[in-house]
Amino acid sequence: MKNTGSCLCKQVTFAVDKFQGPVGHCHCKMCQKFHGAAFSTFVEAKTVALHWLSGEELLKEYRANNDTVRTFCRCCGSSLLFESQYNRREHTIEIALAAFDKLEPVHPDAHIYTESKADWFDINDNLPQHRQYRR
**pLDDT tens digits, 44-69:** 999 999 999 999 999 999 999 999 99
**pLDDT mean across residues, the chain:** 95
**Does this model's pTM top 0.85?**
yes
Residue 135 has pLDDT above 70, yes or no: no
11 in any annotated domain = yes
The three-class DSSP label of residue 130 is coil
124 in any annotated domain = no
| Number of structural domains in the chain | 1
50 in any annotated domain = yes
CATH number for the domain spanning 86: value is 2.170.150.70
83 in any annotated domain = yes
28 in any annotated domain = no
E-assigned strands of the chain?
4-6, 13-16, 23-26, 40-46, 50-54, 59-63, 69-73, 79-83, 92-96, 100-102, 110-112
86 in any annotated domain = yes
Q: Identify whether the C-beta of residue 4 lies closer than 8 Å to the C-beta of residue 13.
A: yes
The three-class DSSP label of residue 29 is helix
Arithmetic mean of pLDDT, 86-107 = 95
